Amino acid sequence: MKIIFVDGYNVINYWPELKDIKDQSMEIAREKLVETLNNYASYKDYLVKIVFDAHLKKGSLEKTDKISERLSVVYTKEGETADAFIEKSVDDIGRKAEVSVVTSDSLEQQLIFQRGAIRISSLEFYHDVKEAEFCIKGNIEKKYTHNRQILEDVVGSEVLEKLEKIRRSK
């Protein structure tokens, strides 16, 4: 199974709609990213780990929230950057599994490649996620328009006329 590590703040700063949301509220931008990637991970059947820096937050401990079977959110501990956490994690699994890292940090991209992972820029990942969202919407539309039945399809015109008379008589 493919594992994708996402540098959360890097992605927020590169994705157009998240960048706009971030200017209003970083918390809402994080929530939107988590929601979006939860759908993406489920659709693609990938394991996704979003990593957020907490290295400047005094006294913070590493914390992992399991959002779903396919998505986890990691907050690093004080003094540890998202890059450092991702590098350490990729070191542990980089050559044993298919691992990708989403970041637009050029130094991080080089280090990740050396550890056996594939790098994806934040903008490349944005387009992949948008394509998946388009496919998800298409599947939903097909499902509901294909199986959709309206009253006119089920009952005859006489019954429809009687129902209309009842509706107008009230």
Domains of the chain: residue spans and CATH: 3-136 (3.40.50)
The kind and range of the H/E element at 168 are helix 157-169
Most confident of 25-29, 108-112, 148-152: 25-29
pTM above 0.85? no
Residue of 40, 36, 11 whose CA lies nearest to 26: 11
Q: Judging by DSSP bridges, how do beta strands 63-66 and 71-75 pair with one another?
A: antiparallel
CB atoms within 10 A of CB 85: 23
Q: Cα separation of 138 and 42, whole Å?
A: 16
Where does the pLDDT of residue 47 fall: very low under 50, low under 70, confident under 90, or very high at 90 and above? very high
pLDDT band at 148 (very low <50, low <70, confident <90, very high): low
Residue 5's pLDDT band (cuts 50, 70, 90): very high
- At residue 96 the predicted structure's pLDDT band, cuts being 50, 70 and 90, is confident
